Structure 1
Amino acid sequence: MNYTLHQLQIFLKITQLKSITKASEALFLSQPAVSIQLKKFQEQFSIPLTEVVGRQLYVTDFGWEIAEAAEKILNEVQAINYKTLSFKGQIAGRLKISVVSTGKYVMPYFLADFINKNKGVDLVMDVTNKSSVVRSLEKNEVDFALVSVIPDQLNLDRVQLMENKLFLVGGTKDKFINKVAKKKIFESYPMLYREEGSATRKAMENFMASHNISTRKTMELTSNEALKQAVVAGLGYSIMPLIGIKNELKNDDLQIIPYKGLPIVTNWNLVWQKSKKLSPTALAYLEFLKSEKDRIMKEDFDWYKAY
């Protein structure tokens, strides 16, 4: 057999995404180039690795076995590269972080200087819902996770980063103030929620329950961006994290509506399992974060204080 590391990388990405088109996009290659490499890789095996049924690509049982072996080989190659850099006195390795969806407006700022300074560090950041973030911690699949509500069921260490403020917001197309008293807004307008399991949704539900607030109509959207655009368009109102609406406030697409008991204030925390043996790369990042987080907050989030 004479397959290459490049072919292993391409085949592994195809099995992960179950699509040649998506694999080509993820690897920044043309679709024909990926198809050709898959064909050359398949020619070295007498058993099919994939099959196409209708227009859908499926990985065979044998293909999954090869994909698992390919991942191990590529990880070992990466480890050799990291060790080479480490012997040169450089920080090198993979840093894996799982981030709740709203955290995508926070985490990159606390990573940029560290990643740019340490060229040997490869970042894997998964932006997903809270349930998936907690699961990745439970299964020890990541070094760290960024959450605004710390899961009670896990024994975690943490570094507190910055406040997470949630306000009642609405679009600027509908100037509700002229139509209804503020205390009646929840009863008079549709309320937009995030999906079940979202920390933002939980905070909104807890606030409304504690204030005995009932709503006329509710709608559910499965991402912060979708919810934000729905509010801008005038579909309804919502309680949203300030961190994700900076530009919309600046452009006068959204307005913060003062309401008793708001904002809800929690904190963004970088967390990890207390029992986890952190890699040298993860430990180096923790040291960076502890020494630099105040500077980063001052430089990148000074606007936050105005609200």
Structure 2
Amino acid sequence: MNYTLHQLHVFLKVTQTLSITKAAEELYLTQPAVSIQLKNFQNQFEIPLTEIIGRRLYVTDFGKEIASAAENIINEVYAINYKTLAFKGQLSGRLKLSVVSTGKYVMPYYLSKFLSTHSNVELEMDVTNKVKVVKALKNNEVDFALVSVIPKGLEIESEVLLENKLYLVGNAEIENVLPNDFYKLVSKTSLLLREEGSATRLAMEHYFSKNKISPLTNIQLTSNEAVKQAILAGLGISIMPLIGLKNELDNGTIKIINVKGLPILTSWRVIWLKGKKHSPIANAFLNYLQEEKNRITQDHFAWIHDY
């Protein structure tokens, strides 16, 4: 056998995505390049690694065994590289984060200078829904998570980054109402909701229950970006985190509807399992956050205090 590290990397990505197209996108390669590497790798084995059934790609049991071995080999190669750089006195390795979807408007600003200062640090950041973020944290698959609501049932420690405000918003054409007239608005306008389990959805439901509000019609969407686009299109109103609305508020395409009991206030915070033994990189990042978070918040998020 004469397979290469590149072939192992390509094959592992194919098994993770179950798609030549997605693997190519994540590896920044063309589809034909991925297909050729996969074929060359397969040619070195008498037993099929993958199979196509009904235009869907499946990994055989043998392929799963080889994928597991490939992952171990790749991790060992990374470890060799990290140890070499560490021996030279350079901070290196992987920083693993899991971030709730709205956190994509927050976390990059707290990473930028740290990553530029430590060019040998590799970032692995998954932006996903709250359920998956909590699962990754619970299974100790990540160093840190970014959330706006602390998950229940986990012993965690945290570092608060900035305030999170949730307002009722609509497009420029939505009528203004008196603060106590939210009932009137939801009786004739669709309410746009995030999926169940979302921190934003939970905050909305708590607000409705507390104020005994029953919206006439609901539309459920799976991301804050989808909710924002639906608002712009005039499909309805929603309670949304302020953090992702700066451009739209500035240009007037979305406006805040002032109603009783809003905004809902929480905090964006980095959390980790209590008692977790951090890697040198994770420790360095946490120290960086503690030293720099106030400056970063002032430089990039001071506008939040205007609302």
The residue type equivalent to 2:201 in the other structure is R
Q: Is residue 135 of structure 1 aligned with residue 135 of structure 2?
A: yes
Q: Which residue of 2 aligns with 1:69?
A: 69
- Residues 106-136 of structure 1: CA distance to partner in whole angstroms, max 9, x if unpaired? 0111111111110111001101111111111
Check 1:186–1:170 CA distance in 2 against 1; reply closer, same or farther (3 A cut).
same
Q: Which residue of 2 aligns with 1:244?
A: 244
Consecutive aligned runs of 4 or more in structure 1 exceeding 4 Å deviation: 180-183
Higher mean C-alpha displacement, 255-264 vs 183-192: 183-192
SS, match of residue 197 in structure 1: coil
SS, match of residue 174 in structure 2: coil
Q: Which residue of 2 aligns with 1:282?
A: 282
- Segments of structure 2 that go 5 or more residues without pairing to the other structure are none
The separation in 2 between residues aligned to 1:116 and 1:177, in whole angstroms, is 47
Q: Which residue of 2 aligns with 1:126?
A: 126
- Residues 179-202 of structure 1: CA distance to partner in whole angstroms, max 9, x if unpaired? x95552122321111000000000
The residue type equivalent to 1:57 in the other structure is L
Q: Is residue 29 of structure 1 aligned with residue 33 of structure 2?
A: no
Q: Which residue of 2 aligns with 1:212?
A: 212
**What TM-score results when the alignment is normalised by the length of structure 1?**
0.97
Check 1:53–1:183 CA distance in 2 against 1; reply closer, same or farther (3 A cut).
closer
The residue type equivalent to 2:117 in the other structure is K
Q: Which residue of 2 aligns with 1:304?
A: 304
The separation in 2 between residues aligned to 1:52 and 1:181, in whole angstroms, is 57
SS, match of residue 157 in structure 1: strand
- Segments of structure 1 that go 5 or more residues without pairing to the other structure are none
Matches within 5 A, 1:228-267: 228-267=228-267
Matches within 5 A, 1:35-54: 35-54=35-54
SS, match of residue 63 in structure 1: helix
SS, match of residue 300 in structure 1: helix
SS, match of residue 285 in structure 1: helix
Matches within 5 A, 1:51-200: 51-177=51-177, 181=181, 184-200=184-200
The separation in 2 between residues aligned to 1:136 and 1:263, in whole angstroms, is 30
The separation in 1 between residues aligned to 2:53 and 2:215, in whole angstroms, is 47
The separation in 2 between residues aligned to 1:202 and 1:84, in whole angstroms, is 47
Q: Is residue 17 of structure 1 aligned with residue 30 of structure 2?
A: no
SS, match of residue 135 in structure 1: helix
The separation in 1 between residues aligned to 2:155 and 2:100, in whole angstroms, is 19
Cα deviation for residue 275 of structure 1 reads: 2.6
The residue type equivalent to 1:6 in the other structure is H
The residue type equivalent to 1:94 in the other structure is R
The separation in 1 between residues aligned to 2:227 and 2:34, in whole angstroms, is 36
Cα deviation for residue 304 of structure 1 reads: 1.1
Contact kept, 8 Å, 2:160 with 2:267, in 1: the verdict is yes
Cα deviation for residue 69 of structure 1 reads: 0.5
SS, match of residue 297 in structure 1: helix
Q: Which residue of 2 aligns with 1:293?
A: 293
Number of equivalent positions? 306
SS, match of residue 104 in structure 1: helix
Higher mean C-alpha displacement, 180-189 vs 201-210: 180-189
CA RMSD of aligned residues (A): 1.4
The residue type equivalent to 1:42 in the other structure is Q
Q: Which residue of 2 aligns with 1:4?
A: 4
Cα deviation for residue 89 of structure 1 reads: 1.2
The separation in 2 between residues aligned to 1:203 and 1:255, in whole angstroms, is 20
**What TM-score results when the alignment is normalised by the length of structure 2?**
0.97
The residue type equivalent to 1:193 in the other structure is L
